[in-house]
Structure 1
Amino acid sequence: MNKTNQYSLLDLFSGCGGLSYGFQQAGFEVIAGIDNWKDALATFQKNHPTSQGILMDLAVASSSKISQQINKSIDVIVGGPPCQGFSISGKRNPDDPRNLLYKSFLRVIDYFQPKAIVMENVPNMVSMAQGRIREQILTDLGRLGYQVQYKILLASDYGVPQNRRRVIFVGVPKNYEFNFPIGDFTENKITCSQAMNDLPEESMTDGEPYPINPLSSYQKLMRIGSDQVYNHQITKHSQKTINTIAMVPDGGNYKDLPKHLQGTRKVNIAWTRYSSQKPSAA
């Protein structure tokens, strides 16, 4: 994309900027990311050095204040409103006030009138409260002039070595046709081994060079712009725990342990060993 033709983008509930980083890689100009978590914004700023990281509570901030701070027109708005109220790991209470934070997202959209919007959340949002939340989102975006498509996508279908699912809502003008792209990796997913087998079993000091050359095309891709290793610290287990883990085969779990060891953790997933020949679990 020619720089003079870049679309400007605003990331709401940005966190560390993962969603907008993907758009940046696709050629979009990330103007700003807004979040009320200071530490996450510090990472956002690292990922987007030419963008603004704005510390702001979107539940109460006015759209005009946001506009004054960024002082630019916005073509695309993206975001992932907090999802604790929707997640199957939470209480799934449809009256949880966090479920309504997407209204702040809609309010900013109404003010800026972008050419397109993208919202992501946990898949359970689609079925939560017998689908009422999903239908409310579609209705609200429709009232703002957008036709909306939504789909639950699996990250491993698109080359990410993790079976992570997210529902993606895309809103575009009503005279524009949008179709979700089909993943290129549905039949040939990136495995845990292809992602990580260039890393040693022992911890590394931050900033050390990679100990070996990349062993897969995925590793080559991930090393673009980076020839040093960071955050590679192994967990310090007791010898008893190490001996127990060693009994679990590649891709196995607590059921592979002797009966007297199967109940030694309150959460059974603690003894799960992800298959090196598959993507990681979510």
Structure 2
Amino acid sequence: MNFIDLFAGAGGLSEGFVSAGFTPIAHIEMNEYASLTLKTRTCYYYLKEHKRINMYYRYLRGEISQEELYNSVPNELLSTVMNQEISDKSIENIFNNIDNIIREKQINKIDVIIGGPPCQAYSLVGRSRDENNMEDDPRNYLYKQYVKFLNKYQPDMFVFENVPGILTAKGGKTFKNIIAFMKRVGYEVEARPLNASDFGVLQNRRRIIIIGWRKGSGLRYPDFQSIKINAIVNDILRDLSPLNPGEEINEYVEPINKYLRWSGIRKKNDILTHHMCRNHNERDRKIYRLAINAWNDGHRRLKYTDLPEELCTHKNKEAFLDRFKVVAGDIESAQTMMAHISKDGHYFIHPDANQCRSLSVREAARVQSFPDNYYFEGPRTAKFIQIGNAVPPLMAKGIAEKIREMLE
């Protein structure tokens, strides 16, 4: 079973499909740092398969450079990660590159195409911040590029992931057009809202998952059974070293617990990376402490209007009153992880009042269900963006397993 990943990001959707036994043919991603993350992950799987995983661990420990890591795997494998924007100008070149891979690997057909165009043009938040309601954003039409891949490679099935706002963009016209374009190239299509929490992810993350299958194939939209996990958010936080703002301490302080083992987030020989957090000024830390104490005292959410006047810096006290939010450690799911965590940590405050900081990069990755051996390339801000934009791998794995069952 193989797949092509479009608008691949840092590879959350791909990671789930690989975990379910699929083989990637190509990843296409325009962001340079995300593309490097995909290459590094490609190295991980190659070195693991060829019993040379210690080379990858040496990279995580900082003992070898990125160049040395990349030189340890065949170049043709790394070239399957294409750092390109998908556009009318680039698409023929991308097709040619994929066709060459297909010929070299003697692949008979593409089983699945996965991916989701950037969601900013469809998101309710994005539209609310744009004076034209994102009407003029060219990303509204990237689904047409996705459909070109369906038309050329005719996979048995495809997965198209996006935010719930895609249903109402342009008054619903965009969604109707997406479905119509997919049907026009030979697919039956269904869209359903799915929540990552139903797949064992400790996060309340609703997404629209469009799944299509070739007309007349007898396939259908898979039925997903909700997984009930006896775990709370603290189960992905408490084994990591406590941090002060601005610190990085890559140490485990507790053994692997049941949830970390079940989810595959932490494995026996993992080398911890990215357990670093941003610095905070004293005013923000005072607000964080108030927010944490409010949550611990009867699960109350701090509103901006609850703050003492000396801690208020915004004149607007009518909107965005929940701009400071604790990641609740004592319940089953955190709030939706977003790329906004790259700008400030106000919406993702660690629940421990003694630490009084926002989440570290690794903690954010764990909320998204990324395994600890997943290494994100680029500066801290770029890491946060990649994580916030990703599909949780555990959710992707649940989707991929059902698709694999159907195709087999």
Report TM bin, short chain. 0.7 to 0.9
1:37 paired residue number: 31
Q: Partners in 1 of 2:324 and 2:120 — Cα distance? A: 26
Identify if the C-alpha distance between structure 1 residues 89 and 39 changes in structure 2 by more than 3 Å, giving closer, same or farther: same
What does 1:133-172 align with in structure 2 at a 5 Å threshold?
Answer: 133-172=174-213
Matched, 1:217 2:259: yes
Shift of 1:276: 1.3
Matched, 1:81 2:117: yes
Instruction: Write out aligned runs for 1:79-228 (5 A).
Output: 79-91=115-127, 92-174=133-215, 175-185=218-228, 188=229, 190-202=231-243, 205=248, 208-218=250-260, 221-224=264-267, 227-228=270-271
Contact 2:196 / 2:204 at 8 angstroms: preserved in 1?
A: yes
Cα distance in 1 for partners of 2:236, 2:10 equals 22
Describe the superposition over 1:144-200 as per-residue Cα deviations: whole angstroms up to 9, x where unpaired. 221111111111121111111111110012322333312213xx5743212212122
Residue 270 of structure 1 deviates from its aligned partner by 4.1
Higher share of residues assigned helix: 2
Q: Could you tell me how far apart the structure 2 residues matched to 1:261 and 1:159 are?
A: 42
Amino acid at match of 1:211: V
TM-score (norm 2): 0.61
- How big is the shift at 1:214? 2.4
SS at structure 2 position matched to 1:271: coil
Aligned length: 273
Aligned-pair CA distance for 1:101: 0.8
Runs of 5+ consecutive residues of structure 2 not aligned to the other structure: 47-76, 128-132, 337-408
Partners of 1:225 and 1:43 in 2: CA distance: 23
Aligned-partner Cα distance in 1 for 2:251–2:288: 29
Letter in 2 for 1:55: N
1:54 aligns with 2:103: no
1:230 paired with 2:280, answer no
Shift of residue 44 of structure 1?
A: 0.8
* Deviation sequence 1:39-82 (CA, Å, 0-9, x none): 11110112233552112221132164243342344211111112
Q: Is the 8 A contact 2:233 2:328 kept in 1?
A: yes
Aligned identity (percent) is: 27
The one of 328, 332, 338 aligned to 1:275: 328
Work out the CA distance in 1 between the residues paired with 2:275 and 2:179: 42
Q: Which amino acid aligns with 2:123?
A: S
Q: CA deviation at 1:35?
A: 1.3
Whether the 8 Å CA contact 1:33–1:54 is kept in 2: the answer is yes
Deviates more, 1:116-125 or 1:225-234: 225-234
State yes or no: 1:254 paired with 2:303: yes
CA shift for structure 1 position 213: 0.8
**More contact order relative to length (CA 8 Å, sep ≥ 6):** 2
Aligned to 2:96: 65
Q: What residue number does 1:4 align with?
A: none
Q: Once structures 1 and 2 are overlaid, which stretch shifts more, 235-244 or 96-105?
A: 235-244
8 Å contact from structure 1 (residues 159, 190) kept in 2:
no
Aligned CA distance change for structure 1 residues 240 and 205 (closer, same or farther; 3 Å): closer
* Contiguous gaps of at least 5 residues in structure 1: 1-6
SS at structure 2 position matched to 1:276 = coil
Deviation of 1:28 (Å): 0.5
Letter in 1 for 2:31: W
Quick one: structure 1 residues 217 and 83, their matched pair in 2 at CA, closer, same or farther if it must change by over 3 Å? closer
Q: Relative to 1, partners in 2 of residues 1:264 and 1:192: Cα closer, same or farther, differing over 3 Å?
A: farther
Q: Deviations over 1:216-239 (max 9, x none)?
A: 423563112652221112332233
Match of 1:3 in 2: none
Deviation at 1:255, TM superposition (A): 5.4
Of 256-265 and 219-228, more deviation after overlay is shown by: 256-265
Q: How far does the alpha carbon of each residue in 1:222-271 deviate from its partner, in whole angstroms, 9 at most, with x for none?
A: 11265222111233223343233222223532358444257345764443
1:53 partner letter: V
- Alignment-mate amino acid for residue 281 of structure 1: Q
SS of equivalent to 1:224? coil
The 3 A distance-change label for structure 1 pair 118 and 167 is same
2:6 and 2:116 in contact (8 A); partners too:
yes
Distance 1:199 1:261 in 2: 34
Secondary structure class of the residue paired with 1:228: coil
1:270–1:261 CA distance, 2 compared to 1 (3 A): farther
**Residues 260, 216 of structure 1: alpha-carbon distance in 2 compared, 3 angstrom cutoff:** farther
Which SS does the other structure have where 1:82 is aligned? coil
CA 1:17–1:90 in structure 2 vs 1: closer, same or farther (change >3 Å)? same
Report the TM-score when normalising by structure 1.
0.86
